[in-house]
Structure 1
Amino acid sequence: MHESIGRTQTVSCALDPARTAALHVALDRPGDPPGPGDPLPPFWHQVYFWDAQRPGRLGPDGHPATGTGLIPDLDLPQRMWAGGRLTFHAAPRLGTPATKTTTVETVAEKTGRSGRLAFVTLRHEIAQDGTLCVTEQQDLVYRQPPQDRTPVAPPQAATDETDARPHRFDTTLLFRYSALTFNGHRIHYDADYARDTEGYAGLVVHGPLLAQLLIHMAEDALGPLAAFTFRGTSALTHTDPATLCRRDTALWVRAADGRQCMEATATPAA
């Protein structure tokens, strides 16, 4: 077992309503934003509990370098958010302090087509006034810069959706979402780095941003959610027109060329 498994870290946050108001505007949500005392919408905790590090503790990709916190030194500089599993126990209230306790659940290494990889799962538990509000398992992948730039054939997305929403992204939204989540990953704002170092066709739309839009779609159709699971399957760049799709509790993101960029499953609250 890896020595880092079981490490924990707790961060406190005031849940300032101003951040939620900014995300509400950035995502162009209808109506007025939630205010003090209102419940925090599902997954909007991404704009809180920042892991703010000094420049000298950042890796070349803009993320906190491994070995500087919970994540061990894996000698793998590039990080990807592969997916996650969310359980919504109770909605945190804005303006009331909350805590997020993060635990390293698993660390596994293997060699794949692109070289050595490390898979890390973190468990985040968000609590407020002694009540567990959200449990999130976050799956991360660390790798070396790709040597073989030959594209891997991505999965093709289903076309049997009963609900479809075209969606386009732009650099302003990617910048705002990066700023609100304090995400310094250069693939979201540095086109040269994204293309030349990490091998993407352009700026990459954040996986959590795609998941957030699918959560909104699921809530609109199914009502409050008890759980949500998502997995990224192909990178979506900001110039790619996308379609958010739903069939019952299954959701996915389809790019204009038909490839599947994300798959997800929503569980409605009882």
Structure 2
Amino acid sequence: MQVDVMDPARARALQVALGASATLDTGDSLPPFFHQLYFWEPAVPAELGRDGHPRVGGLIPDMGLPRRMWAGGRLEFNAPLRLGTAAEKLSVCERAERKVGRSGDLAVVTLRHEISQDGKLRVTEWQDLVYRAEADAQAPRPVAPVARTDEDNCRKVDFDATLLFRYSALTFNGHRIHYDQPYARDVEGYDGLVVHGPLLAQLLMLEAGEINRFSYKATAPLMHHERAEICRKGTDLWVRGADGRQCMVATSG
């Protein structure tokens, strides 16, 4: 069980990082998914893996696959979280299994987080994580799906290393693929810094507006130097890369 007082300053910092005005204060409702800024789990350097994340073997079992990816998730918002009020988070591992996919061995892990405030369950979140084997420079790159083009609303979003660093800092995410370009390129095989999956999901949730449920799935990585489009048609949302590929799909409710 973790406890956090939901400091409004942290929420205001994310507003500013995303290009909005800093308006949130004590007593205000926390925007959907802003709880990613809270419940930090700091670990001493000796307890970190090579990727900057805490070593597996606790909540997440060690299945011998080093490359971690945030594959998607689902959320239920029962009531808003309030800034400046202590909240409790309970986390459990619902699933951890190895599989063989098109690109080789992988492990799928599902975590469930329940966040309560004033004795009431406010948010339930399921996180789907995937662990893969070492990157193979000779292996063919997976073919990304093509994104829809029938949206009713669409806005362009630019990313850069500064935004990725600030989001990593605010969420206490030490994964080096988001701020260490030589590591992302030479060790994990990416073309640049990888935009956080939760950051893309955050932008889709802000686009969706008021929501009670939300589910999302990452389908292709987006690099920090790429422009993306945040698209919406009804309750369907997606992230489209500049080359037309689908990077994330989501559904709101």
TM range (shorter): over 0.9
Aligned equivalent of 1:230? 216
Aligned equivalent of 1:240? 226
Whether 1:44 aligns to 2:34 is yes
- 1:115 positional shift: 2.9
Aligned equivalent of 1:216? 206
- 1:33 positional shift: 2.1
Aligned equivalent of 1:123? 112
Code of the aligned partner of 1:183:
N
Distance 2:122 2:9 in 1: 20
| 8 Å Cα contact 2:63-2:98 kept in structure 1 | no
Please state whether the residue corresponding to 1:116 is helix, strand or coil: strand
How does 1:10-159 map onto structure 2 within 5 Å?
10-30=1-21, 32-67=22-57, 69-147=58-136, 148-159=138-149
Misfit runs of 4+, over 4 Å: none
Code of the aligned partner of 1:22:
A
Aligned equivalent of 1:177? 167
RMSD, aligned α-carbons: 1.0
- 1:78 positional shift: 1.4
Write out per-residue CA displacement over residues 90-140 of structure 1, whole angstroms, 9 at most, x where no aligned residue.
111111100110011111101234332110000000000100000000000
- Unpaired runs of 5+ residues, structure 1, are 1-9
Distance 2:23 2:49 in 1: 35
TM-score under structure 2 normalisation?
0.97
- 1:43 positional shift: 0.2
Code of the aligned partner of 2:30:
L
Whether 1:191 aligns to 2:177 is no
Distance 2:49 2:188 in 1: 14
- 1:143 positional shift: 1.4
Mean alpha-carbon deviation: is it higher for 32-41 or for 154-163?
Answer: 32-41
TM-score under structure 1 normalisation?
0.91
Mean alpha-carbon deviation: is it higher for 148-157 or for 44-53?
Answer: 148-157
Code of the aligned partner of 1:230:
Y
Distance 1:240 1:234 in 2: 13
Write out per-residue CA displacement over residues 45-84 of structure 1, whole angstroms, 9 at most, x where no aligned residue.
00000121111111111111111x2111211111100000
Distance 1:44 1:251 in 2: 19
- 1:196 positional shift: 1.0
Distance 1:198 1:135 in 2: 31
| 8 Å Cα contact 1:191-1:202 kept in structure 2 | yes
- Unpaired runs of 5+ residues, structure 2, are none
| 8 Å Cα contact 2:8-2:84 kept in structure 1 | yes
Distance 1:201 1:190 in 2: 12
Aligned residues: 252
